Amino acid sequence: MKVGVKDLWAGGILIFLALLGLFINGGLLGIGLESHALGTARRMGPGYMPMLVFWLQLGLGCLVVFNAFSNGPDPLERWTKLDLTTLAISVSSGVILWRVMEAIGLNNNYIQVGAPCFVAMAVLAISPAWRPLGLVLASFAIFGLLLEPLGLILALVGLCVVSALADRDHNPVSVIGMTVSLCIICWFVFIYELDIRVPLWPTIF
Amino acid sequence: MELLSNLAHGFSVAMSMDNLIFALLGALIGTAIGVLPGIGPVATISLLLPVTFGQPATTAIIMLAGIYYGAQYGGSTTAILLNLPGEVSSVVTALDGYKMARRGRAGAALTIAACGSFFAGSVATLLVAWSGPALTSVALSFGPADYFSLMLLGLIISAVLAQGSVLKSIAMVVLGVALGLVGTDVQTGQQRFTFGVPELSDGLGFVSIAMGIFGIGEIILNLERPEARSVMSGKVGSLWLTREEFRRSVPSVLRGTVVGSVLGILPGGGAALSAFGSYMMERKLSKYGHEFGNGAIEGVAGPESANNAAAQTSFIPLLTLGIPANAVMALMVGALIIQGIQPGPRMVEAQPDLFWGLICSMWIGNLMLLVINLPLIGMWVKLLAVPYKYLYPAILVFCAIGVYSLNNSVFDVYQTLFFGILGYIFSKLRMEAAPLLIGFVLGPMMEEHLRRAMLLSRGDPTIFVERPISATLIVLCAITLLAMLLPGLRKGKDKALAE
């Protein structure tokens, strides 16, 4: 079979998003949330344009899938068992943490988004193939988590240290040197010159 | 004469101390990121967008423009010296430029690249100045239906000219339009697709999308395939051209300027496409076509002139019609809107400082770049010694603080993270992200015009073919789409982009 797997996935994503959009927007063949009024062609309601756009996207997605059967072979990179397991654990740990935080009411200031993101990405980094993806995104999430309670400097330290793990060439000395210099540069550019409103040091104590 | 007085006004704006400094700053940053592979103008401009909010609109746009054309100069340096194109637009320069460097003529190649770029940039800047007001007066007679058709044409051409499958690019445009739907509906005030999140009522963050997809997504991909850096081959040599080299490159520079100016205006065109176009043309037209690939100076002179000409003329659709021609211009629209300026035909009249100041600063910036690049070439090459392991955390840090400072909200940080994942998936599945960004910017404007047009026509969609301007544009859309169905043309495009 000469199937273009990449196109198959691409088309699948497009179709999924289009169906989801149609479902939320005005209902799909009678089922759905119908959250936006369609209006008429003369007086378009808020749901009219989304309807046009998502139907178009649905059609294009189907065409992409249809094309995929003739333009291959175009396989995705091989996923090992470790890749699949870490992906599964990562997603489920993120979802569980989200649920737990919901239950105990830890949901102010998007901490409920950031913490599961960080945990899921950190888990993902266990598998070598996902490591750059997992660590770069985890470093971003830890920045978001630390910034407001602990201040800019500590958030930067977190970001630098976690993201540095993604590159094997780093050693402790280079990480410390880089972190210190980036902190100084950022203090100068963002606090001293641009004066953005963000705490520099921890505020929760 | 009006042009002259306008240009004089423009120079008085561009020569102010602040604007000169920021043009220089933009040119320097542009050259630096042009030299460095792995970070392009799209990522850099989205990175610096939040930093420019404090400045007046003119100064901000002058600096961002400087980054874009500065990157065209810088990209050629590493392409010639190291066979390592810093930008997509200088990929073809590496073909012959690096061979020239191996022969010891690196200096000559760098000189013709810089001088050709400067000449092309000057001509293209004049073209922007001359065509801007003319096109604007045409654009003012456009009704909502005409605007809708024009944007449709822009989206279709930008998808057709993008790299990779046309079908997928069109789908990405539509996906971009769909992402643009999130937020408050302008006419009824209803929340659409916001899921009750208050931060989403202004729509998805433009900077977050651009930074996530082009900044963070790129970093992850770069880390996944660590490249061995090649070492510089030999010395730069004399910067002077021989008489023979000069004679051979003049016609190429002229042709490259024309090709670049034309392709730059086209939506989806821009620097990369025109460099490819010019290289193909030189190989066909030049008397020395057989030397191509072995260090023909035409192969450097043509594409380098073309990419810089295109970098200037791609401002024409933005400044006159408010329609971005490529992803960088989409970012400029974002920058203008954040500054409270609605890009469109009224901009020339309403914002003369911005329009003429920008044009004049482009010329000044090109002059600066000539000076920055040629004598200081050694300094830029040293920049390559900065390992990527220090570069990417720095980019991440700037991204993170930058998005946070937009609204002082952590929500934007997580939004960027989400689009980073999306950008990673897109590039793994070879879904082009640039058309998505253009669709995202144009989507809300298109909806606005569609609704107005349909209201005027009392719900009759034939308005789009009844008005002559709109009808012409719709026919052009159809021709473009049909042309892509022809197998011959499609193969030609694939071949041109593959080389």
Instruction: State whether residue B382 sits within 8 Å of chain A by CB.
Output: no
Rounded to 5°, angle at Cα B128 from B159 and B371: 100
Pairwise CB contact (< 8 Å): A167 & B388: yes
Beta strands B191-192 and B183-184 are antiparallel
Which of the four pLDDT bands, split at 50, 70 and 90, describes residue A98?
confident
The overall average pLDDT reported for chain A is 84
How many folded domains does chain B comprise?
1
The beta-carbon neighbor of A166 closest among B170, B181, B223 is B223
Stretch 147-206 of chain B: residues touching chain A, C-beta under 8 Å: 165, 167-168, 170-171, 174-175, 177-178, 181, 185, 187-188, 190, 192-193
> Cα dist. B402→A64, B64, B97, B157, B335 in Å?
36, 15, 37, 32, 14
Which of the four pLDDT bands, split at 50, 70 and 90, describes residue B176?
very high
Q: How many CB pairs under 8 A join A and B?
A: 190
Q: Who has greater pLDDT, B164 or B152? A: B152
Contact list, A42 vs chain B (CB under 8 Å): 454-455, 458-459
Q: How far is CA B215 from the centre of its chain?
A: 15
**What percent of chain B lies above the pLDDT cut of 70?**
93
The beta-carbon neighbor of A53 closest among B181, B401, B411 is B181
Which of the four pLDDT bands, split at 50, 70 and 90, describes residue B33?
confident
- What span, in angstroms and rounded, lies between the C-alpha atoms of B481 and B475? 10
Instruction: State whether residue A196 sits within 8 Å of chain B by CB.
Output: yes
Instruction: State whether residue A45 sits within 8 Å of chain B by CB.
Output: yes
Instruction: State whether residue A44 sits within 8 Å of chain B by CB.
Output: yes
Six token digits for residue B198: 């208050």
Given a contact cutoff of 8 angstroms between Cβ atoms, the answer to whether A158 and A142 are in contact is yes
Contact list, B397 vs chain A (CB under 8 Å): 156, 159-160, 182, 186
Residue range B353-364, pLDDT digits in tens? 888 889 899 889
**What percent of chain A lies above the pLDDT cut of 90?**
18
Query: pLDDT at position B135, please?
Result: 81
DSSP H helix total and E strand total for chain B: 24, 2
Q: What is the ipTM of this complex?
A: 0.91
Q: How far is B417 from chain A (nearest CA, A)?
A: 6
Query: pLDDT at position A44, please?
Result: 82
Query: pLDDT at position B23, please?
Result: 92
Highest mean pLDDT among A157-161, B321-325, B441-445: A157-161
User: What would the mean pLDDT of A175-195 be, rounded to a whole number?
Assistant: 85
- Output the DSSP codes for B458-469: TT-TTHHHHSHH
Q: List the domain range (segments joined by +) for residue B469.
A: 2-498
The beta-carbon neighbor of A57 closest among B175, B451, B455 is B175
pLDDT at A13 over 80: yes
Contact list, A45 vs chain B (CB under 8 Å): 188
- What span, in angstroms and rounded, lies between the C-alpha atoms of A171 and B316? 49
DSSP-H helix ranges across B286-409: 298-313, 315-321, 327-338, 347-350, 352-373, 377-383, 388-407
The beta-carbon neighbor of A136 closest among B178, B219, B390 is B219
**What percent of chain B lies above the pLDDT cut of 90?**
9
Instruction: State whether residue A167 sits within 8 Å of chain B by CB.
Output: yes
Pairwise CB contact (< 8 Å): A186 & B420: no
pLDDT at A20 over 50: yes
- Output the DSSP codes for B252-291: HHHHHHHHHHHHHHSTT-SHHHHHHHHHHHHHHH-TTGGG
> Cα dist. B362→B219, B325, B373 in Å?
30, 18, 16
Instruction: State whether residue A133 sits within 8 Å of chain B by CB.
Output: yes
User: What would the mean pLDDT of B28-57 be, rounded to a whole number?
Assistant: 82
- Output the DSSP codes for B43-65: HHHHHHHHHHTTS-HHHHHHHHH
Which of the four pLDDT bands, split at 50, 70 and 90, describes residue B119?
very high
Given a contact cutoff of 8 angstroms between Cβ atoms, the answer to whether B207 and B440 are in contact is no
Query: pLDDT at position B499, please?
Result: 46
- Across B444-479, b (16+ Cβ under 10 Å) vs e yields bbbbbbbbbbbeebeeeeebbeebebbbebbebbee
DSSP-H helix ranges across A69-171: 81-104, 111-124, 131-150, 152-164
- Output the DSSP codes for B198-247: GGGGG-S-HHHHHIIIIIIHHHHHHHHSPPPPPPP-S-----SPPHHHHH
The beta-carbon neighbor of B421 closest among A71, A137, A143 is A137
> Cα dist. A107→A112, A114, B205 in Å?
5, 10, 22
Instruction: State whether residue B468 sits within 8 Å of chain A by CB.
Output: no
Query: pLDDT at position A29, please?
Result: 64
Q: Who has greater pLDDT, B88 or A122? A: A122
First to last CA, chain B: 45
pLDDT at A57 over 90: yes
Query: pLDDT at position B20, please?
Result: 92
Instruction: State whether residue B309 sits within 8 Å of chain A by CB.
Output: no
Which of the four pLDDT bands, split at 50, 70 and 90, describes residue A61?
very high
Q: Is the peptide bond before B343 cis (omega within 30 degrees of 0)?
A: no
Residue range A102-140, pLDDT digits in tens? 888 777 778 888 888 888 888 888 888 888 889 999 999
Read off the DSSP letter of residue B326.
Answer: S
Which of B190, B389, B403, B445 is the best substitution to test chain A (most A C-beta atoms within 10 A)?
B389
Residue range B246-261, pLDDT digits in tens? 888 888 899 999 988 8
Stretch 427-466 of chain B: residues touching chain A, C-beta under 8 Å: 428-431, 443, 447, 450-451, 454-455, 458-459, 461
Residue range B259-313, pLDDT digits in tens? 888 888 877 666 777 888 888 888 888 777 777 878 788 888 888 899 889 888 8
Q: Residue A44's beta-bridge partner residues?
A: A39
Query: pLDDT at position B232, please?
Result: 53
Q: Who has greater pLDDT, B231 or B263? A: B263
